[in-house]
Amino acid sequence: MISIAIDGPSGAGKSTISRKLAGMYGFVYVDTGALYRAVGLHFLNAGVKAEETQKIIDGLSNIQIDIKFIDNEQRVFLNGVDVSDKIRTPEVSLMASAVSAIGKVREFLFDLQQSMAKKHNVIMDGRDIGTVVLPNATLKIFLTASAEERARRRYEELIARGMNVTYEDVLADLKLRDQNDSSREIAPLKPADDAIIVNTTGNTFERSVTILSGLISHKLGL
Ligand code: DC
């Protein structure tokens, strides 16, 4: 099986670029952030606070997370309910970042992620795909961009979805998440030693897709 790991901070364009690349190569696109978001949503709904680590660990036994593909799009199910749309709010983003710092949560999601790469040719995006989940990935890319550019993209995305947010809040949230994701002890956000680092600041979407598809085609000998 072929696996392309795409890691990087939030808002670097991982999901839109990965989805496009998966379509081009006929691979399955796996968005692992959605799994952490589903876990975050579960505990938000249960009224558990981000700092109640033990409650979160104990509560994992009540959660079943599944991935299904409907019309080639990944859908995430939390205890049998499709939560793919509900997990896209700023509250869930912060809770996902908090729960993702807990080792037991990462262990809980590990097998599901690995099993996807065993069954399909995948483009898998996340934070620790190249370093932890798929250390033997065919190709590892670390996608990044300046915080301001990432915040601007995320802001436009949220506004387009009809959410009432300000650019300043989005930038502040993003910096907080960067800080959480990079400074945690377990599986911190960092490029794998053998990852190719691609900075998309100032690139159009098409330009970034061209750069990454160039890397993939070269690696696959296409
Ligand atoms: O990519 P995203 O913004 O949907 O991810 C949500 C959160 O989940 C993010 O703050 C970091 C965390 N995450 C992670 O720790 N490891 C992954 N492989 C994917 C996401």
Question: What's the pLDDT tens digit per position in 63-116?
Answer: 999 999 998 899 999 999 999 999 998 899 889 989 999 999 999 999 999 999
Q: Any residues with CB less than 8 A from the CB of 114 and at least 6 apart, and which?
A: 133, 134
Q: Taking a C-beta distance cutoff of 8 angstroms, is the pair 15, 143 a contact?
A: no
Query: What single letter denotes the amino acid at residue 192?
Result: A
Q: How far is the CA of 203 from the centre of ligand 1 (A)?
A: 23
Compute the distance from residue 222 Cα to the ligand 1 centre, in Å: 31
Mean pLDDT for 59-65 is 97
Assign residue 52 the CATH number of its domain: 3.40.50.300
Residue 59: both structure tokens together: 């509560």
Q: Please, which residues have CB within 8 angstroms of residue 78's CB and are 6 or more apart in sequence?
A: 38, 41, 42, 63, 64, 65
Could you report the per-residue pLDDT of 157-206, keeping only the tens digit for each? 889 989 899 999 999 989 988 888 888 888 888 999 999 999 999 999 99
Output the pLDDT for position 187.
83
Domains in the chain, number: 1
pLDDT of residue 208: 97
Question: Tokens 């996902």 identify what position?
Answer: 96
DSSP reduced 3-state for 185: coil
* Dihedral sign of CA atoms 198, 203, 209, 215 in order: negative
Residue nearest to atom 13 of ligand 1 (CA): 33
CB 33 less than 6 A from any atom of ligand 1: yes
Asked whether 200 lines ligand 1 (CB < 6 A), one says no
pLDDT in tens, 116-126: 999 999 999 99
Place of tokens 């159009």: 204
CA-113 nearest atom, ligand 1 = 18
Range of the domain at 9: 3-220
Closest-CA residue to 156 (of 42, 16, 27): 16
Q: Please, what is the Cα angle at 84 between 19 and 43, to 5 degrees?
A: 130
Residue 36 parent element (H or E): helix 33-45
Residue 15 CA: nearest ligand 1 atom is 1
Q: The sheet that has 73-78: what strands, in order across it?
A: 65-70, 73-78, 81-82
Task: Please indicate whether residue 128, judged by its CB atom, sits closer than 6 Å to ligand 1.
Answer: yes
Q: Residues 6-27: pLDDT tens digits?
A: 999 988 999 999 999 999 999 9
Integer Cα distance of 208 and 73 in angstroms = 21
Atom 6 of ligand 1: nearest residue by CA position: 33
